[in-house]
Each structure stands twice: as C-alpha cells, then as structure tokens.
Structure 1
C-alpha cells in the first residue's frame, strides 16, 4: 500500500472516529489527541445525552456551572468556523435547555453575535439580570449595525432609483447599461481587425423616478417564532424611515397591537420595545393599519406573519379584501430571514393569494427589490427556494 493511500485511510478513520465519539465501541481503534481530542470533547459535551440520543448514552457534559459553559463556548469558537459556531450555540439552547447560558455576562461575551442570538436575547430580556442587560444591548447593537451595513443602503438604492426593468433607455447611465442588448444592437459595427464592437447606440434600463407610493406600513407578527423576522424588519423600517419621500410606519402585534414608529430612528430601541411571545391577532393588527392609511392607492402594507391566526381568520381575509378593494397593495411575507422554508398556515396563505395578496417567504437580501416592485405597483418576483 502506498503512503498516499495510507494517509487517506488514516484520514477516513480519523473522521469516523470524530463522528462515532469515544464510547469504546467505535471500531476504529484510533485514539484522539491534540486538537481532535478538543473537538471531540466540545461536540460530546453538547450531543451526548441529548434527548434524541436514546437510552444508554452518557449525559451531556456542559454541566450546571457558568464557568464550564463559558469554557465550552470558547472551545467551539476556537475549533469551528463562525457559521458552525452559530449552529452549535442554537443547538445548545434548543437541545439542552441552556437558555440560561445567555443570563451570565461572561458567557454572553463569549457568544458569536447573530440574528438568532438577538432573537433569544429579546425573548429572554425580562429575565436578564441587571448586570447582563448592558452586554445584551451591545450584542443586539452589534448585529443590527452589521445588518444595516449589509442591507440598508441596498434598500435605499432600490427605492430611490433602481433600474426599471420594464422600460428601456437609449441614454442610460453607465451602471444601467444592458450590455447584452447593446452588443446585439450594434453588431453591424463589429470591427474584425480589432475583434470588438463599437457601441454607437447604448441600450439600458431607465431609472424609475415617479410613481413611488408615499406610505409603507410594516405590520410584523411578534410571536416568538417570528423573532428573526422582527429583527430584520426593524433594520428595514429604520432604513425606510430615512427616505424622506416615504411615510413609513412599523406596527407589531400579538393579541395586542403596538405602533413602534416613534422608535424607527433607533432599531435597537425598537427591538427592546417589542414584546416577543403571546398569541396572534392579525385581524386586529390589520384593522389598526387600515385606520392609519390616508392614501389607499399610494400605500403598501407588508404583513410579516406565519398566518397562524388566533383571532378571526375570516375577519383577517375580509380585512385584506377590503384593503385590496380600496387600492392598497398588500404583500404577505411568511418569514423575513435566511432560515429556509418557514412553518406557516398553507390554507390561509392560499386564500390571501387568491385575494391578490401574494404570500411567500423572503430573504433579507431579496426584500429591497420585492418592496420596490410593490411600490411601483408591479407583481413582486417571488423568491425561489
């Protein structure tokens, strides 16, 4: 057997050893040492003895003490990339009931900030001790700042002058040139000796300058399952509020309705003002939004909810039908996050779509173009996947 083959076999055994753990029955006959032993301890502390593991498994090793949990958080950050760290943190909370890992300042400082952590902090904020609240707020501010950096300018650009794909211009700005159409329109000017086309006539996308709606209402379900969507909605709401041509309102609801528009200047304050959890009364929330609409034909209502209505489902549908009849554009987002296909009420989503209110999940990156289409009274492109 050649050395490369031996090395490949050894690597396969190493990987199987890490997968199977150290129960003494892994069958590889390969001990772990160094970094591999550390990785094995970190994973074993989380996954051995989890409820799904079945009988006979050893208990989880995170223990009850804050120092041990803090060490585990440090270990996973040392051994794994940030994307994996976030999954492990969420598993620690979900599988082992470690919500209290967020209740100690030293552990909070060790956690990788992300939207899921912000959602957990917001859900637990009433239980946070005084010594932890400042750290929790800083974590939330860090994540919000990163989302604003990534998403806010994209939203402003999409609404303030995104290319209108339905209209063509023969005097486009450089960034709006449609090079495929331009080349085809100038093929007669091909110069064989230079191997190029001289574009005597440019073809591009016209910029939309008129027709934007003046009112945007984000109506966000603040039940616990929608927490990540609320985080993104707060960031987008703040960005929309900075566009002077728009009158932006952000409304959150469970069985009660709260207008958080006054907090749009500070999305961190807005998130801490929300009350995650509770039931869901979409009909009541839409009734409040309806009462704040002054120009129906110039208004877009974005309802962000999984549609698990605890109020009046028929009333919700009648309310949406009335808004549509008045000229309001209604878009229903079943989720506004990067977590994939959400759980939602399929029957109500289909009923809303039949009323002209399309219902689908949307990633934060797709939201700017989706909202721009709605504001221009065009069918939004439903995100795929």
Structure 2
C-alpha cells in the first residue's frame, strides 16, 4: 500500500501530503521537487494528460530564467529519472517555461540530455547562436547523430543491399541460393505435371550478384520548415548512410522558399545539419524543379519528397511536375514526416491530389524507412507497402 500511495503522491504533487496522508523523504522528495519546478503551474501534474500539464503559459517561480538554476535542475532530472523521461521533461521545459534563450548558453547545453527534438531546437537557433555556445551545440548534435547512425545504419545498408541484389534478375543464377523460386514457379506453370504434383522448371529466374556500378539514383528533397525539424535530422542521417553505398548515387536538397543542395556535406551529417535553416516559408514547386535537374536516369531513380505539403509556391505547377516525374518512370515517394511521432498537420488537399495520380503521401517512422527504400528499389507498389506498414496515410 505504501508504494501505491507513494506513486499517487508523486503524481498529485502539491503540499506535504496533498491529501494522501503520505509524506516524501530523501530521493523521493528531490524527485517531487524536480517535477514541481516544471509541472506545478497552470494545469499541474494531475490534469489527466500523462502528468505533463496543460502546456500553456509558464511558471516563473519554478526554474526562473537563470541558466545555473536550470542546469542544476537538469542534473537532478537526469539523476532521478530514466533518459526517455528526461527527454520528455526537457521538451516540456523548453515549451512551458520558454527556455529557448537559455539553450544559447554553454552551461545549459552541457547539462541537457541529447535527443532529436533538442537538435531541432538548436538548429532553429543556429543563426543567432553566440560563438561560445556553438561548439557545445555541435557536441550535442554529434552525440545524437552518432546514436542514430548506430541504431539505423546497419539495418539500412542490409535492406538496400538485399533489394539491389534482388532487383537485378538473371536467367542463369549461379547458385541455388540465387534462385527466385516464386518467380521461377510462376514462369514454369505450363510445365506442371499432375501425375507427379510438381512443376518441372525449364527456365530459372534468379538474382544477379551485386554490381559495382551505380544502380539507382536517390534524391532526398527535404522541407526545412519549422514543423519538420525531426524529419530534417533523420533525413540527414539516412542520406549519409545511403551516400556511403557505392551502388547508389545519393543527393540531398533542403528547401523553404529557397533551395539549397547539401549533397557535398553528406559525408558528415553534423555539418549537413548545420547547413540547414529551420523555419520560414515553403516553395515545394521550386524544390522539385531543382531536383528534376539532378536526375539523369529516370527509370532507375527514386525521388523522396519529405514535406507536410503546405505549398507557398505554385500548387498546380507542383502537381504537374510530380505527374511528369512519374510518367518519366521515376519512383516518387512523398513522406509527410520521417519521425517517430507519426503524421503531423499536413495539407490534406495536396496529399489527396498526389494519391489520385498514384503517389501516396504518408508518414514513416525511421525504423520503417530502410524497408521502404528496399520496396522502392524493387519497384514494389508503395501504396500497398504503406497500407501494410504505416498507420497514418493521406
């Protein structure tokens, strides 16, 4: 019973016992103090929203505007809570208590728990960041990028390499392991022997071994408006991984109302991220026009547009360009987000228009992206792939 009352007491917050008759001591009291500094303002902890308050307004009496005080609070949070909870509390602190300005101070940056959302905030502040904070910010970004690469790189290379091997068909497979049995059986159904209940293959269909030459062109076209921050981070990491594969020629282009080609930074995703500028308007049409000029082999190309589809440019021209790309044989994929959060707010009208021309628009998680690229390389039906793998679609 005591453990149950302890948990309720931490959820409720407030006075010494908060009506539970249960007081807190030692580490529990310090945990309660860390929660109180963030959540015991408007809305509090007990408003039925996962203990995160209502997210409105700020509580000046909790953390104040002092970087040392906030840094000490972050230290307490990291001591008493697991890293996943720390990341949520950091995000809430930045939003609820308006701590964005403090992220420009090195002492603050050295105390935070690095995560994708924090990287997005830092990138948005990149142009106003003082020089003394820049190296600390770069260290935070590099820590997140290296963790994402450890998590995603091997899976991506394996999925893409396997897809490239499978997409290269041959009628003279050299090894049994290279035979595509499903295609071989379908190609030889006319040779079915009822008396033996078997198919006698007169023609084998198999996978050719991987070639050294470039087999696919991949263009990532990434919306860098403020709502797409996490997608920009993940796109940069995946772009770097794909660029490391010699069988692919990978380009990455970011855009708002201007278009910036960052392909020459793909060797270092941290430098690439600091070359972005989150925020501003959106001109998808201009970005697609630029990317069309990068594609030299349409039938072997994959164009991935990562955007919430809120077009500030010429909408009809944007749709015409996408139609022209699909007619030329380019595999076009539109991701409303490349993040763990699922579909953001997006332009439903534009998503529906794209779907009508056979280009589905859906959100994709980073863990699903390697398989998505494999499906695109093999020219599988991306609409069917999305229906099986993705919950949020247009």
Interval containing the TM-score (normalised by the shorter chain): 0.7 to 0.9
Give 1:59 deviation, angstroms. 5.1
Q: Distance in 2 between matches of 1:209 and 1:223?
A: 41
Residues 242 and 217 of structure 1: CA distance in aligned 2, closer, same or farther (over 3 Å): same
Q: Does 1:96 align with 2:97?
A: yes
2: CA distance, partners of 1:44 / 1:206: 64
SS in 1 for 2:292: helix
2:226 paired residue number = 224
Out of 172, 177, 184, the residue aligned to residue 177 of structure 2 is 172
Q: Name whichever of 90-99 and 100-109 sits farther off.
A: 100-109
2:28 maps to 36
| 1:215–1:248 CA contact under 8 A, matched in 2 | yes
In the alignment, which residue of structure 2 is the partner of 1:19?
11
Q: State the 1:347 CA deviation.
A: 2.0
CA drift of 1:340 comes to: 2.7
What is the match of residue 6 of structure 1?
none
Contact 2:217 2:297 in 1 (8 A): yes
Once the two structures are superposed, the pairs formed by residues 85-234 of structure 1 within 5 Å of their partners are 85-162=86-163, 164=166, 171-172=176-177, 209=209, 213-234=215-236
Q: TM-score, normalised by structure 1?
A: 0.83
Deviation at 1:98, TM superposition (A): 0.8
Distance 1:302 1:263 in 2: 18
Distance 1:109 1:271 in 2: 19
Q: CA deviation at 1:247?
A: 1.6
Q: Is the contact between residue 14 and residue 30 of structure 1 (CA under 8 Å) also seen in structure 2?
A: yes
- 5+ unaligned residues in a row in structure 1: which ranges? 1-8, 179-204
Contact 1:115 1:228 in 2 (8 A): yes
The corresponding residue for 2:189 is none
- Structure 1 vs Structure 2 CA RMSD: 2.8
Q: Is 1:285–2:287 an aligned residue pair?
A: yes
CA deviations on 1:103-154 (whole Å, 9 max, x unpaired) are: 1212211111111111111111222221111111111111111111221222
Is 2:308 the partner of 1:306?
Answer: yes
Give 1:341 shift. 3.1
Could you say what secondary structure the match of 2:161 adopts? Answer: helix
Residue 23 (structure 1) shift:
3.8
**Contact 1:47 1:60 (8 Å CA) reproduced:** no
Whole-angstrom distance in 1 between the partners of 2:234 and 2:124: 15
Match of 2:68? 67
Note if contact 1:283-1:316 (Cα within 8 Å) is conserved in structure 2.
yes
Question: How is 1:294-333 mapped onto 2 (pairs within 5 angstroms)?
Answer: 294-333=296-335
**Does the C-alpha gap of structure 1 residues 147 and 206 become closer, same or farther in structure 2, counting only changes over 3 Å?**
farther
1:47 Cα deviation from its structure 2 partner: 1.1
Aligned residues between the structures:
348
Shift of 1:60: 4.3
